[in-house]
Amino acid sequence: MRIDLISLFPEFVAQIAGHGVVGRAGERGLLSIHGWNPRDYAEGNYRRVDDRPFGGGPGMVMLIDPLQAAITAARAADPAPARVIYLSPQGERFDQAKARELATRSRVILLCGRYEGVDERLIQAEVDEELSIGDYVLSGGELAAAVVIDAIARLQEGALNDADSALQDSFGPGSEEGPILLDCPHYTRPVEHPLGPVPEVLLSGNHAEIARWRRMQALGRTWLRRPDLLDEVVLSESDQALLDEFWKSRS
Ligand code: SAM
C-alpha cells in the first residue's frame, strides 16, 4: 500500500514511518509513506501557503493553489488511483471498520490542514472524504494522519509478527453473526505477584477452556465498558450463557 501525506511538516513523515509496526511494515515492503510539502509548490519569495479569511475573523486559511499542486504531484507519482482524504474534525468518525476498509486500498492521499483549515473550494474539488479522529480540535492534521496510518499499517498482511493478534484485538472483525467486542484482559509472568495471581484457567493448558474464558471476559468487558456495541446485537445462545456467567461471577 502507498500513502501520500500532504503536510506543511514533512519531517512528520519520517517520524511516523520510522518506528514500531509502521516502520516494520515499511521495511517489509508492505507500506510506503511519501511526504509532499505544499510550500514547495507555493509561489513568490515568501512561499505563502495561507492568507486571511474573507469576511474577517481570526486565523489564517490554507491557500488553494499550493495544496492543489501538491495533490496533483502526489497523484502523478503513481499510476494507481488514489482516494484523497482530508483529516478534519468535521469528518466521518474514524474507527476500526474504516481502518479495515482503507487497509484494502492500494493508495490513499492524506491531506493535513493547519490554521483555521483549508479553503472550502479545494475540499469541494479535490477531496473524496473527510475523516475525524474524535470530537476535539487539534492544531493540525498530522497527528490525525499518524493515527490513521498506524491503524492501517498494522492491518497490512505480514505487518504484525502474529497475524492472529489483529483478529483478537478490540473491535476485531468478529464473525459474520457475532458482535464486535473489546479484547479480553492479558497477563504475563510472574504467576504470583503482590498485585495478585494470574487467573488459574490461563495456566491450565486447556485451550478450549482458555478460549471460553477469554470470550466470556471479552463479552463482559464490552457489556461493562461499551454497552453501545451490544445495543443492536442479538447474542447467540452460547454468548448469552457466557455473559450470564460473567454477571454471576461479579455478584
Ligand atoms: N476551524 C476548523 C474547525 O473548527 O473545523 C479546525 C481547524 S484545526 C485548528 C486545523 C487542522 O487540524 C484541520 O484542518 C484538520 O486537518 C486538523 N484537525 C483538527 N482536529 C482534527 C480531528 N479531530 N480529526 C482530524 N483532523 C483534525
Q: Is residue 146 part of a domain?
A: yes
Does the beta carbon of 26 lie inside 6 Å of ligand 1? no
Strands (E), the chain: 2-6, 32-36, 50-51, 61-62, 83-93, 107-112, 129-132
Does the beta carbon of 90 lie inside 6 Å of ligand 1? yes
179 and 148 housed in the same domain: no
Burial class (CB in 10 A: 0-12, 13-18, 19+), 45: exposed
Residues 141, 152 contacting (CB under 8 angstroms): no
The CATH number of the domain holding residue 62 is 3.40.1280.10
The CATH number of the domain holding residue 239 is 1.10.1270.20
For residue 2, give the nearest of 70, 71, 81 by alpha carbon.
Answer: 81
Domain span at 68: 2-153
Q: Is residue 158 part of a domain?
A: no
Domain stop point among 88, 120, 153? 153
What's the gap in Å between 183 CA and the centre of ligand 1? 30
Res. 129 pLDDT band, cuts 50 70 90:
very high
11 and 132 housed in the same domain: yes
Please give the share of the chain, as a percent, with pLDDT higher than 70: 98
30 and 149 housed in the same domain: yes
Model confidence pLDDT, tens digit, residues 224-233: 999 999 998 9
Q: Which of 20-24, 109-113, 132-136, 177-181 has the lowest mean pLDDT?
A: 177-181
Q: Is 169 among the catalytic positions? A: yes
Q: Is 120 among the catalytic positions? A: no
105 and 190 housed in the same domain: no
| Atom 27 of ligand 1, nearest CA residue | 88
44 and 124 housed in the same domain: yes
99 and 187 housed in the same domain: no
18 and 117 housed in the same domain: yes
Q: In the chain, how many domains are there?
A: 2
Q: Is residue 92 part of a domain?
A: yes
Q: Average pLDDT in the 202-219 region?
A: 98
User: Has residue 80 got a pLDDT over 80?
Assistant: yes
User: Which of the 8 DSSP states describes residue 139?
Assistant: S
pTM over 0.85: yes
Measured CA to CA, the distance from residue 47 to residue 44 in angstroms comes to 5
For residue 142, give the nearest of 66, 37, 64, 30 by alpha carbon.
Answer: 37
Q: Is 53 among the catalytic positions? A: no
148 and 229 housed in the same domain: no
197 and 228 housed in the same domain: yes
Measured CA to CA, the distance from residue 77 to residue 60 in angstroms comes to 30
Type of residue at 223: W
Does the beta carbon of 10 lie inside 6 Å of ligand 1? no
Measured CA to CA, the distance from residue 181 to residue 188 in angstroms comes to 22
3-state secondary structure of 169: coil
pLDDT of residue 168: 82
Residues 84, 26 contacting (CB under 8 angstroms): no
